[in-house]
Amino acid sequence: MLEVLIIGAGAAGLSAARQLQKKGVSFKIIEASYRVGGRAWTDQQMLGVPVDMGCSWVSGADKNSLTKVGRNAGLTMVDHTNASEALYVGDRRATDAEWDQFEKARRKIDKRLSKAGKKGSALPASAVISKDLPFSATAQSWLGPMDYGVDFKDLSTLDHWEQTDDQPSYLVKEGFGTLVATLADGLDVSLNTKVSRIDWSGDGVEVETSQGTLRAARVLITVSTGVLASGDITFHPALPVEKQEAIQNVPMGLLVKVPLLFDGARMGFSEGEWVTYKVDEDQAGKACYFIAWPCGHDYLFGNIGADLGWELSRAGSDAAVDYAMGALTSMLGNDVRKHFVQGIMTDWAVNPLTYGAYSVQRPGTTGARKALGRSVADRIFFAGEAVGGARAALANGAYDSGKKVAKKIAKKALAAR
C-alpha cells in the first residue's frame, strides 16, 4: 500500500514530498489544477511579462527557506525591503506634515494592536484603534485589507501579534510562482485530479478522485481552509467537531490583485515604489493601493482587499480594472489613460480550488490554527499556510509546515514497516 497520499501541489505539498523522498517513504502527489504551485502562480501570458497572481514576496528573506530555493534555481531576487513610498492627498503629493501624520497613524495603530495581542486578547482590531487619528483609515487600508485580506472588524489582534516580521523582503523578477514551481522538479505529480471524498473508516484511507480511487496508509491535506469549509471534499466518518470548528474559525481573507499594463511611461513613480492615497476616515478599506513597476516590468500592481475585494470579484474583472484606474486617475489625472494598455484581475475569490487568498483567524477565537494543524487518528494530516505558525498566510509558512509534518509522517511510516 502507498504510504502517503499528498493532496495539493502547492508549497506545502511539494516541500512535504521532497522530505518524504529524502526519507525513502513512498508517496503520491495529486493536484486538482492543471499546474503546480497552488496560490503561488506566475502568469506569463496575459500581459506578456511575468505577473505574480498570488504570492509575490520572499518575506523575512534572511530566515525564509525559499530564499535558498530561488538562488539555487538561478532566479533574480530583487530587494524590496526599503522601497520608497508615494503618498497622495487628492491629486497632489502629501506635504511633510501630512506624511508625519500618516506615519504616526501607522505606528500608533500597530502599537495598539500589538499591545492587545501581547496580552492574549483576540479582539477585533476595530475595537482598539483611535477614532480621531488623522490618516487612520489610510493606514488601516494597508494593514487590514491588503496585508491580511480582511477589514479591521474581522482582524484579530491576537492573530496580528502572533505573526512574525516580514522583513527583509525580495521580489522575484521571473516570478515567485516560478520559484515555487521549481520545487516540483523531479517529483511525480498527477494534475487535474480533484478529490471529492476521503474515507478513513478503515485501517488506512481511501480517497475518491476524478481519476479514480486511491488508497494509502496516510493522507496529507494541503488545500485551503476555503476548500475545507466548502464541503467540496467530504469525509467519512465526519471530521471531529474540534477540527470542524477550527476550519470555520480560520476562514479565508481576500486580496484581489489588479495589474495594469502601461506603454513604458513611468508617470513619476520609481521601480518598486509603494503608492498610497488618503481615504476618508469613514471609508477604511475602500482603496486600491499600488506597487509601481515591480522588478522593472511595465505594470502597476493594484491591490484591493477584504469586503471591497469580494464585492469587485463578484462584479467581474472589468469592474475591478475600472476601480483601479479610477484610483490612479484621481491621483494623476485622466492623461494616464492614454498610456494604459490592459488590466486584469485575480480570481481567488471565485476559484473553486481556493475560495479566497489566504487564511485569517477570527476575532474572539484562540488556538484555532493549532487545532487545525493536529492530525486525526494518525491517518489524516494537515499542512499549508493556515497552519504556518508565526509565518501563517505566507508561502514560506506553508513550505515549512509541509516539511515539518512530513518529518512526523516519515517517522511513523518507517516505524510501521
Mean pLDDT of 85-107: 97
Q: What is the pLDDT of residue 130?
A: 84
Instruction: Centre a 10 Å sphere on the Cβ of residue 416 and count the other Cβ atoms it contains.
Output: 10
Extents of the domains making up the chain: 2-42+183-250+362-415, 82-166+255-343
pLDDT for residue 266 is more than 80: yes
Lowest-pLDDT range of 50-54, 60-64, 226-230, 380-384? 60-64
Instruction: State the Cα–Cα distance between residues 286 and 406, nearest whole angstrom.
Output: 41
Contacts of 277 (CB under 8 A, 6+ apart): 87, 88, 89, 138, 287, 289, 327, 330, 331
As a whole number, mean pLDDT of residues 29-49 equals: 97
Q: How would DSSP label each residue in 97-144?
A: HHHHHHHHHHHHHHHHHHHHHHTT---BGGGTS-SS-TTHHHHHHIII
* pLDDT score for 48: 96
Q: Model pTM?
A: 0.97
Answer positive or negative: Cα dihedral of 267, 272, 273, 278: positive
Q: Read off the pLDDT of each residue in 368-384 and give the average, rounded to a whole number.
A: 98
Q: 82-166+255-343: same fold as 2-42+183-250+362-415?
A: no
Three-state DSSP at 8 gives coil
Tell me the mean pLDDT in the region 345-364: 98
* CATH class of the domain at 82-166+255-343: alpha beta
Is the distance from CB of 385 to CB of 393 less than 8 angstroms?
A: yes
Q: What's the pLDDT at 131? A: 77
Inter-residue contact 181 to 25 (CB < 8 Å): no
Closest of 397, 395, 387, 390 to residue 246, by C-alpha: 387
pLDDT at 165 exceeding the cut of 80: no
Q: Which residue has the cell 475600472?
A: 322
Lowest mean pLDDT, pick from 102-111, 126-135, 253-262, 370-379: 126-135
Given a contact cutoff of 8 angstroms between Cβ atoms, the answer to whether 134 and 105 are in contact is yes
Residue 314 predicted with pLDDT over 90: yes
pLDDT digits (tens, 9 = 90+) for 176-204: 999 999 999 999 999 999 999 999 999 99
72 phi and psi, to 5 degrees?
-65, -30
Using only the alpha carbons of the chain, give its radius of gyration: 22
pLDDT of residue 1 exceeding 90: no
Report the pLDDT averaged over residues 220-238. 98
Instruction: Round to whole Å and give the CA distance between 152 and 163.
Output: 16
* pLDDT at residue 297 greater than cutoff 80: yes
* Strand, coil or helix: 160: helix
What is the domain class of 2-42+183-250+362-415 according to CATH?
alpha beta
What is the mean pLDDT of the segment spanning 222-227? 98
